[in-house]
């Protein structure tokens, strides 16, 4: 059953602390890209550590629907028989990408270059998320794409006469925009270049290189020439730093907690959360540094410590955008005031995460004031109460960790979509000491 077709609520009893050595699931961003690039490569690629959350499974099913043979050879292992850059076949029906914005935005670039028509659809939440940010530059390249009047899915994509490379200055730092255009650029005449106001995560550039594509990449800029061939490569997916974040915050806010999160991806375009927590006073060490392919990996040790409020500006936002719901919980447990600015992007995620977190923290007794591009949060005593995650997986898991510092139970409504990014979250959290009920 799809996560959106069932109802799961969490109840988390107050108190406790986190301890132990944990391995969170594979990185969602890297898992998506591994399936996409392996499918377009010549030859057979092996993927290990693949995230079997529903978002990544939607990507896998979409490529299976286009005649790519993908075998599951283990619980988190795939064998992908690539069909080459021009080997995809027309699917028999619309490609349903569930709740996955990454799938829809990146695949819009790939589908815009195919010789057949496709329609990309998603669930109710995904169908409200803005798509003009990728559709408009794709149209500049020559793509033929229709959206709703609001610029949302379904995306109806028709074959283009040809795509031409463009030099695009993105108004926001977004790995999804950049990756979408680079993937379309594989098929385009000439060079496709994307510049950003801040450096966004660079998983696509790193992985393209591992599949044999010549990519020019530096912070805030990436470019490639169209027509290059992808060669099959094996991909080892590290543990997801976004999923590790909930446990980092949970341990950091409770004195006496101590956890080790193993084999976590610490790509420098993703470690804003570590920098933020360290500035707040968290005790965090990176141990055993190594590489999985082109991606840096480390074990992360976190000890409970007293946190302090800080100012978090735009320079830290791009490298921690998905982690901010958990940052808001850390702020609620810190001494003093935390001010977040430059984070308007949070309003167009799976939910309006600024509103969802501030409203929920207010229910729990915290002075949390939403701002157009961020929030002002004054740390204090968390109380029990009932909060609505609005179907947003990261909001749900963040409020679960808040119960560690609450004086009463926290009920979290509408948590089924946790399975999109972190299958087994409640089980792993219980093993680490969180008193959570609501998921087997």
> Based on the domain organization, do 364 and 223 belong to the same domain?
no
**pLDDT confidence of residue 439:** 65
Domain closes at, from 207, 236, 265: 236
Average pLDDT per consecutive 10 residues, the chain (440 residues; last block may be shorter): 67 97 97 98 98 96 98 98 98 97 98 98 95 98 98 98 97 95 98 95 96 96 98 98 98 97 96 97 98 94 96 92 97 98 94 97 98 98 98 97 98 94 95 87
Active-site amino acid positions: 322
Query: Domain containing 144 — which CATH number?
Result: 3.65.10.10
> Based on the domain organization, do 151 and 282 belong to the same domain?
no
> Based on the domain organization, do 203 and 287 belong to the same domain?
no
**pLDDT confidence of residue 3:** 44
Domain closes at, from 236, 255, 281: 236
> Based on the domain organization, do 302 and 329 belong to the same domain?
yes
**pLDDT confidence of residue 4:** 43
Give the max Cα distance, the chain.
63
> Based on the domain organization, do 230 and 347 belong to the same domain?
no
**pLDDT confidence of residue 2:** 44
**pLDDT confidence of residue 333:** 98
What are 385's strand-pairing partners?
Answer: 410
- Separation of alpha carbons 35 and 26, rounded Å: 13
> Based on the domain organization, do 204 and 316 belong to the same domain?
no
> Based on the domain organization, do 82 and 8 belong to the same domain?
no
How far CA 166 is from CA of 50, 142, 201, 222, 225, in Å, comes to: 33, 10, 21, 12, 11
Q: pTM here?
A: 0.92
> Based on the domain organization, do 17 and 77 belong to the same domain?
no
| Domain ranges, residue 216 | 28-236
> Based on the domain organization, do 140 and 285 belong to the same domain?
no
> Based on the domain organization, do 114 and 127 belong to the same domain?
yes
What is the number of domains present in the chain? 2
> Based on the domain organization, do 230 and 262 belong to the same domain?
no
Q: Determine how many CB atoms are found less than 10 A away from the CB of residue 350.
A: 25
> Based on the domain organization, do 245 and 382 belong to the same domain?
yes
**pLDDT confidence of residue 100:** 95
Q: Determine how many CB atoms are found less than 10 A away from the CB of residue 255.
A: 10
């Amino acid at each position: 059953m799809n996560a959106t077709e069932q109802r799961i609520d969490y109840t988390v009893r107050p108190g406790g602390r986190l301890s132990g050595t944990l391995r969170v699931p594979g990185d969602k961003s890297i898992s998506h890209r591994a399936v996409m690039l392996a499918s377009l490569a010549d030859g057979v690629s092996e993927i290990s550590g693949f995230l079997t959350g529903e978002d990544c499974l939607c990507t896998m099913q979409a490529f299976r629907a286009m005649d790519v043979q993908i075998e599951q050879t283990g619980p988190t292992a795939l064998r992908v028989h690539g069909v080459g850059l021009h080997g995809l076949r027309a699917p028999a029906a619309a490609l349903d990408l569930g709740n996955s914005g990454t799938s829809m935005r990146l695949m819009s670039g790939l589908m815009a270059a195919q010789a057949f028509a496709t329609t990309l659809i998603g669930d109710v939440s995904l169908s409200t998320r803005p798509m003009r940010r990728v559709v408009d530059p794709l149209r500049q390249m020559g793509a033929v794409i229709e959206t709703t009047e609001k610029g949302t899915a379904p995306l109806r994509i028709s074959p283009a006469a040809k795509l031409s490379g463009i030099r695009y200055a993105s108004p926001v730092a977004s790995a999804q925009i950049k990756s979408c255009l680079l993937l379309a650029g594989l098929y385009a005449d000439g060079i496709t270049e994307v510049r950003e106001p801040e450096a966004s995560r660079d998983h696509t550039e790193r992985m393209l290189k591992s599949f044999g594509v010549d990519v020019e990449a530096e912070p805030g800029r990436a470019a490639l020439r169209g027509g290059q061939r992808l060669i099959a490569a094996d991909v080892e997916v590290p543990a997801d730093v976004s999923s590790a974040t909930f446990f980092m915050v949970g341990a950091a806010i409770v004195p006496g907690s101590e956890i080790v999160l193993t084999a976590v991806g610490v790509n420098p375009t993703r470690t804003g959360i570590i920098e933020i927590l360290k500035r707040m006073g968290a005790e965090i060490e990176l141990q055993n540094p190594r590489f999985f392919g082109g991606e840096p990996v480390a074990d992360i040790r976190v000890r409970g410590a007293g946190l302090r409020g800080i100012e978090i500006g735009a320079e830290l936002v791009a490298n921690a955008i998905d982690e901010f719901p958990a940052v808001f919980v850390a702020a609620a447990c810190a001494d003093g005031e935390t001010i977040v600015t430059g984070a308007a992007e949070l309003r167009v995620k799976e939910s309006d995460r600024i509103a969802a977190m501030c409203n929920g923290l207010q229910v729990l007794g915290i002075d949390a004031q939403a701002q157009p591009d961020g929030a002002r949060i004054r740390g204090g005593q968390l109380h029990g109460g009932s909060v609505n995650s609005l179907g947003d997986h990261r909001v749900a898991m963040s409020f679960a960790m808040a119960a560690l510092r609450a004086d009463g139970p926290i009920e979290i409504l509408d948590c089924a979509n946790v399975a999109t990014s972190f299958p087994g979250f409640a089980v792993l959290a219980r093993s680490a000491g969180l008193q959570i009920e609501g998921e087997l």
